[in-house]
Amino acid sequence: MPMSDTTPKSVLLVCLGNICRSPTAEGIMRQRTAIAGLTLKIDSAGTGDWHIGKHPDPRAQSHAKQHGYNISKLIARQVSPQDLLDFDLILAMDSQNLKDLQQIRELAAQKAGAEDLARLALMSEVDASYLNQDVPDPYYGGEDGFEEVIKRLESSVDAWIDTWQL
């Protein structure tokens, strides 16, 4: 499938701890972009440092697996100013993550010109079903929250893919 001029070569998916939403988004985006014939570098990270080096939350892994996504081998890491140079597009799961990324972007801009830095956006920015809505953090909730995250992420990933294809 041909790609449009706006198709990024690399996408970073970001949430708070990188153990629930962003690794799930990474698994979904990897699988769905491959099916769509898109070749992108895809990674995930968290704005916080609490879970660095850990695998995704077992509940996130379980729900992802039920939907055909294997995220068990992913390892949490913290987003860094370098990521704004290394990625074309960084998608935040919620508005607070986006604010945190904008602060990191300001640090990165001191090292490089702003035109060389990744574009920042909400995960749902192009998703008509959840337009500019936060992907809710399921960490402190029940099983339903993890299902809601997958439903929203599948919708938003598909919406991004649609914008990247001609």
Catalytic residue chosen out of the listed positions 43, 127, 134, 137: 137
Alpha-carbon torsion, ordered 82, 60, 73, 96, to 10 deg: 0
105 with 26: CB under 8 angstroms? no
Catalytic residue chosen out of the listed positions 21, 30, 105, 152: 21
Structure tokens at 76: 């949490």
Is position 127 annotated as part of the catalytic site?
no
Is position 30 annotated as part of the catalytic site?
no
Catalytic residue chosen out of the listed positions 15, 43, 83, 105: 15
CB atoms near residue 37 (< 10 Å): 11
Catalytic residues: 15, 21, 137
